Amino acid sequence: CRHYARKLLRAGAQGREQRAAGAGGAQTWKLSAFMAQWHALVPVGMEPEEDMLSGLALFESAGSGGKESAEISYLDAEDLPRDPEQRFDLLFGSQAPGKPRWEAEQLRPFLEGMTVPPGKQADDVLEDFLHGFRKNGHSDNPLTYIRKTI
C-alpha cells in the first residue's frame, strides 16, 4: 500500500513543481480526498490506512475542523539528508517542507535513517540540535521542538 501512496504523492508533487515553476512547496491534499484516491489506486484486497503514511507524508490540521480539515503533503524520510544538521536545517528551515516547530509525534518518523554518532542515541542528537518544550509547561500539552540557535 505504501508504494501506491508514495506514487500518488510523488505524482502530485511533480505536477505541482511543473505548474508552479519554483513557487515552492509540495502539493497539499485534503486528507479525505487523498485517502479516496489512494483507495481507488490500490489493488482489490489492500486497505490503505493513515498510519501507513508515517514518514511518507506530513500531516497538518487546517484550522479547527479536526480530521475533516486535515491536510497532507509529500515528505519522504528516505529523501532527507542522513546528516543530522542538514536534516534539521531542512525540516526546520524557512522553505517547504520546513516549519519552525514540530510536535514530537510528527517529527519522530522523519528521524528514521538519520546518522547517529557512535555512543549516542537519537534522543541525544535531538538534544544537540533542538530545544524541546511543552506549551505553558503543562505535561498535558504535546512535546514540541524548535531548532536551537547559536
Per residue in 66-83, pLDDT (tens digit) is 566 789 999 999 999 999
Q: Say what the pTM is.
A: 0.79
For position 62, what pLDDT does the model report? 62
Per residue in 85-127, pLDDT (tens digit) is 999 999 998 776 778 999 999 999 999 999 999 999 999 999 9
For position 68, what pLDDT does the model report? 65
For the segment 56-62, the average pLDDT, to the nearest whole number, is: 83
| H/E run at residue 30 | strand 28-30
For the segment 44-51, the average pLDDT, to the nearest whole number, is: 93
Cell of 102: 514540530
For position 23, what pLDDT does the model report? 42
Instruction: Assess whether the previous peptide bond of 97 is cis (omega < 30° from 0).
Output: yes
139 backbone dihedrals φ, ψ, rounded to 5°: -70, -15
Burial pattern 11-49, b for ≥16 Cβ within 10 A else e, equals: ebbeebeeeeeeeeebbbbebeebbeebeeeeeeeeebe
